Structure 1
């Protein structure tokens, strides 16, 4: 008998580590969202601005250095790269404004998706085994979507707060799962 860990033990330890690390990360981010919602949102906007600049550099590089791409493809990549870089720089020039714009944009997007989701739920009533719940869900979804469209900044704040709570709760659950994996009942 060897002292080497089995493949199952190695996999279990990998899963345990992944769950534990992701759980702790989620708890930290969730607490930051709940304790410093504005500052955390600005950090997220900064991360997105950095991503935009990096993506812009990559797109522009592809357009400039590609040997196989046709002229219009290269020009398109260069223009897209420049747009990404300019958007990132503009976001960094006023991160607070960029954060607000991003929050409103995401809130409107979620509002539209909820309205569409409610309409789709209503359109499938004939196939539903639970018509009452389907109608309730559809109406709630449409109403919530309309509320987000008419007050996107308030909706973004509520969604941000709910995200923070969810991350803390799910992070705790993942951390507990990390300790429980591999144990026999």
Structure 2
């Protein structure tokens, strides 16, 4: 019985540590997004640019070293590698402009996806039992997508703030869960031992 209790305590302790660490990381990330929105957006763009360069190098090596595939596959990998590397270098040369471009492209894709989702929902209206809710969802999605397309920078900034607020709230909740699980585990342990 003591092995089971010891194993349960170890599991609870591991869970508490995981919840606490992930909560602190989310809380800090959310605060950084809210306190320094422009700097954190530039940091994210820098990470994307670094990913492009590393991915480009991998594609180059794959195109040069890969023995399988035909000549076209090798040339395709090399060209893709060069495009990735060039895109990453261009992004690094002017991170603020690349950040605005990334925000615009992301917002435009979100707007388009909401419009498409709304249209697809309209096509499913005859098959769905909740026609009113489907129609409402579809119209809201289409209108929201159009609004985003007409003001993509505003939408990107708003989504960035929402992300920051969500991370702060979720991080704080995760930390509270970690503390609460510890108290619940102690109470359960006391009940088993007492």
Determine the C-alpha separation between the residues in 1 that align with 2:127 and 2:15: 39
User: 1:168: Cα distance to partner?
Assistant: 1.1
User: 1:9: Cα distance to partner?
Assistant: 4.2
* Higher mean displacement: 174-183 or 136-145: 174-183
| 1:40 and 2:40 correspond | yes
Give the gaps of 5 or more residues in structure 1: none
Q: How does 1:18-167 map to 2 (within 5 A)?
A: 18-167=18-167
- Please, what TM-score do these two structures have when normalized by structure 1? 0.89
Matching residue of 1:180: 180
Give the gaps of 5 or more residues in structure 2: 189-194
Determine the C-alpha separation between the residues in 2 that align with 1:119 and 1:9: 52
User: 1:22: Cα distance to partner?
Assistant: 1.9
User: 1:169: Cα distance to partner?
Assistant: 1.4
* Higher mean displacement: 29-38 or 128-137: 128-137
Residue 68 of structure 2 aligns to a residue whose secondary structure is coil
Q: CA RMSD in A?
A: 2.1
C-alpha deviations, 1:19-71, integer Å up to 9, x for none? 32222111111111111111110000001001110111111111111223322
Instruction: Decide which structure has greater helix share.
Output: 2
Residue 155 of structure 1 aligns to a residue whose secondary structure is helix
3 and 11 in structure 1: CA distance in 2 versus 1, 3 angstrom threshold: closer
Determine the C-alpha separation between the residues in 2 that align with 1:134 and 1:3: 50
Determine the C-alpha separation between the residues in 1 that align with 2:9 and 2:175: 18
Determine the C-alpha separation between the residues in 2 that align with 1:146 and 1:94: 30
129 and 23 in structure 1: CA distance in 2 versus 1, 3 angstrom threshold: farther
- Please, what TM-score do these two structures have when normalized by structure 2? 0.85
Determine the C-alpha separation between the residues in 2 that align with 1:85 and 1:125: 45
* Higher mean displacement: 88-97 or 114-123: 114-123
Greater CA radius of gyration, 1 or 2? 2
Determine the C-alpha separation between the residues in 2 that align with 1:129 and 1:172: 39
